[in-house]
Amino acid sequence: MFTIAKTEAARGIWSAFKEPLTAPARGMVMVDVIAAGICGTDYHIYSWDSWSAGRIKTPMTIGHEFVGRISAIGEGVTGYEIGDRVSAECHISCGECHYCRTGNAHICEKTSIIGVDRPGAFAEQVEVPASNLWRVPTAIPDKHAAVFDPVGNAMHMVSAGKVTAKNVLIVGGGPIGLFAAAIAKAHGARTVALQEPNQARAAIARSLDLDLVVNPRDPDSAAQILNLTDGHGPDVVLEVSGNGVALNAALEIAAPGGTFALLGIPSGPVELDLGAKVVMKGVSLIGVTGRRMFETWYQVEAFMLKNPDLMEKVITHVLPATDFQRGFELMDEGACGKIVLDFQQIDQRLPI
């Protein structure tokens, strides 16, 4: 079985051939992976930053965005059959704590994440709890179905921001920011602006027919956003960059009473002028993590079915799984939107 794993506590990702997995445990299913998306989390692990070094126990097969077909079913599992095409929620919650029992399983304190805390989907097979599965409609192509997870992040953030009829600013044009821009537009935002310094990703954003795409490094970028919003500033800011400077700049121009949905994770602590920029402006800060289980999944499915053209614009590369190093290099260069790895064509003779 071909796998892509973090085997050493150092920058990089490696691959290997291992024995196929054994039969799934009770309540679990085995999924033969068709395709898997490279996530920002996977890139953090590849880079071996401070978060990864403190969280990942090597060796660990990474990857948590995927679509595949069920190949084996464990005891006690009902409602699924061999051959069903599925994706899966990567956050495995306990189902018993206060948060799980009140509809907030996405913030379960006992969450275990596929590809982070347990073997992931950058492999020909992955074992997943049946309770986390999502059966994928046949009308959704494999490369779209492989990225339910990040589109779900974007959907959760947009929903938290309540963007309908609002002036929206997306800070950061990585894949989730691009998906968020497309979703905000589909959800009836009054205007949608996106700021992104990388010109390759800015070009993808322009292909989405947004109202404004700006480079935050341009001295007149704030003026352009204010002009778009009739001088009021954005009512909703969707922060995906994790950049403290960008966050402070957005707070500076945000409309009074505005809403900030924060999904980007900073590399370290961020200093904010809470008095002037948050309290006195009546700004609401909302932390967004994961997806609401499974409300967000229904929303994402509907979006994918109705907007396949937007999905195509954000997914810029589908690479053979054995070419995964090229995928991470493209992310290093910022020369891509969303990257999907194809696990259908694995040459078992390939030297690793």
Among candidate residues 3, 7, 22, 41, the one labeled active-site is 41
**Whole-angstrom Cα distance, residue 97 to residue 93?**
9
pLDDT for the residue numbered 351 = 47
- State yes or no: pLDDT of 314 exceeds 50: yes
Confidence of residue 268 (pLDDT cuts 50, 70, 90): confident
- Which structural domain range is residue 91 located in? 2-136+307-342
Q: Do residues 191 and 316 both lie within one domain?
A: no
Among candidate residues 3, 44, 156, 259, the one labeled active-site is 44
**Whole-angstrom Cα distance, residue 246 to residue 251?**
9
CA distances from 147 to 7, 67, 164 (A): 25, 8, 24
Q: Do residues 108 and 201 both lie within one domain?
A: no
Which whole number is the average pLDDT over 245-258? 96
pLDDT in tens, 92-109: 999 999 999 999 999 999
Q: Do residues 42 and 159 both lie within one domain?
A: no
Asked whether the beta carbons of 314 and 204 are under 8 A apart, the reply is: yes
Count of C-beta atoms within a 10 Å radius of residue 12: 13
User: Which residues are registered as beta bridge partners of 36?
Assistant: 66, 341
Q: Do residues 128 and 35 both lie within one domain?
A: yes
Confidence of residue 22 (pLDDT cuts 50, 70, 90): confident
pLDDT for the residue numbered 21 = 86
HSE of 339, CA atoms in CB hemisphere, 13 A:
25
Q: What's the whole-model pTM score?
A: 0.94
Which whole number is the average pLDDT over 299-325? 97
41 is catalytic: yes
User: Is 293 a member of any domain?
Assistant: no
44 is catalytic: yes
Which backbone phi and psi does 192 adopt, to 5 degrees? -130, 120
Confidence of residue 237 (pLDDT cuts 50, 70, 90): very high
Which whole number is the average pLDDT over 113-142? 97
Residues in the chain: 352
- State yes or no: pLDDT of 180 exceeds 50: yes
